[in-house]
Amino acid sequence: MRPDTPAEHIAEAERLIRTATRYPEDQEPLLLQAAAHLELADARERASTLYDQLLAGSPADPHLIKALQAANLWEYGHEAEARALISGIRTAAPADPAPWEVIAESLEAHDELEASLDCFNEAATLLVADAAPLTPATTALLTGRHRVRRLLGLPHDDWDMVADTRHIGPIPLDELHDPKRIWALGSDDPAELRAEIARLRAELGDRRAALSRPFPVAMLHWPERELDELVTAYPTLAAEYPSHDAHLAHIEASLRALAASGTTNLGIVTGSVPSYEAFAASEKTSPASPSLLAEYATTLAARGKADTWPPTSTGPCWCGSTKPYPECHGGPTAA
């Protein structure tokens, strides 16, 4: 299911482009994801065409698309166009952290550390307020800023301290971002130097992948009445769903396991029998086929239909119970 080779990425991109013609109202998330797969296959020119196609419409998130386009163009030698897009985004000063992060990282990737830091600073000044709590996206801004400031050898400031405090992971941020450590290692052992650089790149790459993947890895959820109707109509699916309670517990447990293994951008899509039957018809497959369920979930997610998991700690549970998440499936024993 998860594409790995360039050919698989191209095939997945083409599947998403076909899906976009079937669901024109969900074109933006589908084509953005298709472009991300094309970039992963190094089909950068085709990715550019998709970004241009999206920008020619009236996209919901033009700044993010322009930022991704700038990063993509610069990767295959169109530096002047990339720079023009980047300065346009800086002038527009979007209120969304994601485009800022993409352009700052693009500058960083091309060794323009001062300009990269300027972008991180502009974004943080605009979007990190003392009074408002940090979100994952604004935390990512401060983390990127921390990395670039470490590479420039600058002393810590207050935002760097915040980045350190907020960082979760086995390796402390200062160790992960320490250029001295990288160079010290390099003088002794070039293999370890390469490993360190690879680790820094991987950290960056994961984040980029999360940004250009606007839809999450999603679990399929059936409300109780829909599940009853589904297994009554298609008894072959009953083996997948022993009971509604077990179905809900399985969703929560699976998402927690994915989160614990480091998967980010998780979500839940909610199925309905009519939409599932329509999907089966469009795929020319029987709705009774259990293997269709995962395809259905992936396609709903690709159409931007997923709710983010976990819900906020004060929000209602994803299961529809109306109880707060921590008192329902978010509780310590629920999963």
CB of 211 to Zn ion, least distance (A): 22
Residue 6 CA, chain-centre distance (Å), reads: 20
Site residues for Zn ion per CB under 5 A: 160, 164, 173-174, 317, 319, 321, 328-329
Angle at 29 (CA atoms; ends 265, 289), nearest 5 degrees = 80
Closest approach of Zn ion to the CB of residue 329, in Å: 4
Q: Give the nearer residue to Zn ion in terms of CB position, either 78 or 329.
A: 329
CA–CA distances in Å: residue 142 to residues 130, 158, 168, 268, 296: 13, 10, 13, 28, 37
Nearer of residues 88 and 316 to Zn ion, judged by Cβ: 316
The least distance separating Zn ion from the CB of residue 271, rounded to whole angstroms, comes to 17
Query: Judged by CB, which is closer to Zn ion: 104, or 280?
Result: 104
CA distance 212 to 37: 9
Give me the least distance between CB of 154 and Zn ion, in Å please.
11
Q: Which is nearer to Zn ion, 99 or 311 (CB)?
A: 311
* Contacting residues for 80 by C-beta, under 8 A, at least 6 apart: none
Closer Cβ to Zn ion, 174 or 277, answer by number: 174
Which C-beta is closer to Zn ion: that of 80 or that of 161? 161
List C-alpha distances in Å: 324 to 222, 243, 244, 287, 317. Answer: 19, 23, 19, 34, 5
Query: Minimum distance from CB of 177 to Zn ion (Å)?
Result: 7
Min CB(315)–Zn ion separation in Å: 11
**At residue 24, what are phi and psi to the nearest 5 degrees?**
-60, -30
Min dist. Cβ of residue 296 to Zn ion (A): 22
How many helices (H) does the chain have, and how many strands (E)?
16, 3
Q: Which residues fall within 8 angstroms of residue 226, CB to CB, at 6 or more apart?
A: 271, 272, 273
Q: What is the SS3 assignment for 163?
A: helix
> Are 214 and 32 spatial neighbours (Cβ–Cβ below 8 Å)?
yes
Closest to Zn ion by CB, 63 vs 329, is: 329
C-alpha closest to that of 251 among 261, 240, 262, 238: 240
